[in-house]
């Protein structure tokens, strides 16, 4: 199915071949440059193609190279401009360009997952569940002139991201260059994407009258954690609705009003926790417009599963180089984060291909994304050297079903034990530590000898 030149990698690292094939199919250079020309407003192409910047950043984010400069030096024969020109281009990538690439990746990977027959069951039948959360990018180094005189952490921006749990992909992102911007200030952009049949899940930062009425007006539904500033009127008393893992559930009917006096009937659901949260809270209140046939316990379970997107952010930080702290300019940092979201979506397709061969339970319960990412980062760089670009075009030219068959063939060559999860047990409490100012250091060898 693939040429003999692929054979060593198909045998030893089929996961890396899958990732390379998906990138070739979805993000071929001409397609990336076409998207750039359609979206960019101020940037333009002179001597450096946007696709070249994209390819450099994919290699850095996936860990094939430790820095942009290292990736540039390895490719300087193909890049006919200076490293300064590369950084200038990178520092000027418009946020809308970054967001468009993520949306495009979501549409393309959705098609591949559909062809594989591996879209996971909806969390809520009849709805397309969307989880909304914010990501504040970590502080960067103080390389920019304006940052050299300040000791404060330099925040390069903030992003809101939307996860589709049925696809396990990031389907949208809303980047903002202002690191101090409130998440609510980006809600207008998010709400413009609401579609009939959606069910949005978000934390209390997104609990606003605007969100609740806009989603309702668009024939969609929501589950949001109640913010203390929301004013509501009770239309009944709180009634017990049973228990869920970790607490007891109750609900009551309430009404909220907008500035025009319009009323919106909601269900206010309380989860009384067996153990308090990190902030010491024992009660979590949710507001939802979902009909009564969706039981209160079901609503509570759906909200508690919203940690899925936080897990995605954690995987981006730990398994991919999603926040490159040497990129101080906001546009560059936001672009790097968007490239990491794209890499996450590519890994979701890889997992979909693995599910199609090995089964959902074996992959979703037993396979670690850490080991998949580690395999790709460790193999990708050498693989792209060993296999010339012309041989990768088979992934681009293949018909949809043929491409799905190639992915399944590669997935059948994967040895699952190489990627097995190793969940740890409950954390042990940290014992109190003794501090001795006169002896700031200890000898590990001597302490072990005293055991």
286 and 330 together in one domain: no
In contact, 175 and 159? CB cutoff 8 Å:
yes
Is 267 part of any domain?
yes
Average pLDDT, the chain: 89
Res. 162 pLDDT band, cuts 50 70 90: very high
269 and 328 together in one domain: no
Judged by DSSP in three states, 413 sits in: coil
341 and 378 together in one domain: yes
Please say whether the dihedral angle defined by the alpha carbons of residues 286, 292, 297 and 302, taken in this order, is positive or negative.
negative
Phi, psi (deg, nearest 5) at residue 263 = -105, 145
* Structure-token match 């954390």, residue found: 427
In contact, 404 and 412? CB cutoff 8 Å:
no
Is 118 part of any domain?
no
Is 227 part of any domain?
yes
Last residue of a domain, one of 276, 293, 310: 293
Q: Which domain holds residue 50?
A: 4-94+322-419
280 and 328 together in one domain: no
Res. 286 pLDDT band, cuts 50 70 90: very high
- Whether this model's pTM surpasses 0.85: yes
pLDDT at 76: 64
Is 215 part of any domain?
no
339 and 283 together in one domain: no
- Cα 218 from Cα 259, distance rounded (Å): 18
Is 315 part of any domain?
no
Is 356 part of any domain?
yes
For residue 105, what are its two tokens? 């990746």
For the ranges 45-49, 53-57, 275-279, 393-397, the lowest mean pLDDT is seen at 45-49
> Of 105, 110, 158, whose CA–CA distance to 136 is shortest?
158
Q: Which residues pair with 160 in a beta bridge?
A: 134, 174
Count of structural domains, the chain: 2
Is 312 part of any domain?
no
Is 202 part of any domain?
no
pLDDT at 246: 84
For residue 115, what are its two tokens? 């062809």
């Amino acid at each position: 199915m693939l040429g003999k030149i692929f054979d060593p990698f198909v045998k030893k690292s089929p996961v890396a071949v899958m990732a390379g094939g998906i990138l070739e199919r979805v993000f071929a250079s001409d397609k990336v440059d076409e998207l750039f020309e359609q979206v960019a407003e101020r940037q333009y192409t002179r001597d450096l193609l946007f696709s070249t910047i994209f390819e450099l950043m994919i290699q850095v984010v996936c860990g094939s190279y430790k820095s942009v400069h290292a990736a540039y030096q390895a490719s300087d024969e193909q890049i006919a401009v200076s490293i300064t020109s590369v950084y200038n281009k990178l520092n000027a990538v418009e946020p809308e360009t970054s967001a468009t690439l993520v949306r495009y990746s979501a549409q393309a990977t959705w098609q591949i997952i559909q062809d594989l027959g591996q879209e996971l069951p909806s969390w809520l039948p009849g709805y397309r569940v969307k989880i909304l959360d914010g990501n504040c990018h970590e502080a960067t180094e103080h390389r920019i002139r304006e940052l050299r005189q300040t000791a404060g952490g330099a925040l390069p921006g903030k992003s809101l991201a939307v996860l589709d749990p049925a696809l396990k992909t990031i389907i949208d992102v809303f980047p903002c260059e202002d690191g101090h911007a409130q998440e609510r200030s980006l809600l207008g952009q998010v709400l413009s994407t609401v579609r009939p049949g959606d069910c949005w899940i978000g934390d209390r930062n997104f609990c606003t009258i605007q969100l609740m009425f806009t989603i309702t007006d668009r024939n969609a539904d929501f589950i949001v954690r109640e913010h203390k500033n929301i004013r509501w009127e009770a239309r009944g008393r709180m009634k017990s609705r049973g228990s869920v893992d970790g607490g007891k559930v109750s609900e009551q009917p309430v009404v909220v009003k907008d500035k025009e006096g319009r009323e919106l009937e909601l269900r206010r659901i309380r989860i009384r926790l067996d153990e308090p949260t990190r902030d010491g809270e024992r009660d979590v209140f949710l507001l939802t417009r979902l009909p009564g046939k969706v039981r209160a316990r079901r609503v509570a379970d759906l909200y508690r599963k919203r940690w899925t997107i936080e897990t995605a952010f954690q995987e981006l930080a730990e398994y991919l180089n999603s926040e490159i702290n040497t990129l101080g300019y906001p546009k560059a940092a936001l672009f790097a984060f968007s490239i990491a979201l794209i890499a996450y979506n590519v890994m979701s397709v890889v997992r979909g291909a693995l599910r199609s061969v090995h089964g959902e339970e074996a992959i979703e319960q037993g396979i670690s994304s850490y080991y998949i990412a580690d395999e790709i980062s460790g193999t990708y760089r050498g693989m792209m050297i060993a296999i010339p670009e012309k041989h990768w075009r088979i992934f681009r030219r293949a018909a949809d079903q043929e491409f799905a068959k190639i992915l399944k063939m590669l997935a059948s060559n994967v040895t699952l034990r190489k990627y097995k999860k190793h969940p740890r047990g409950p954390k042990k409490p940290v014992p109190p530590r003794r501090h001795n100012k006169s002896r700031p250091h200890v000898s590990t060898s001597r302490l072990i000898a005293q055991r």
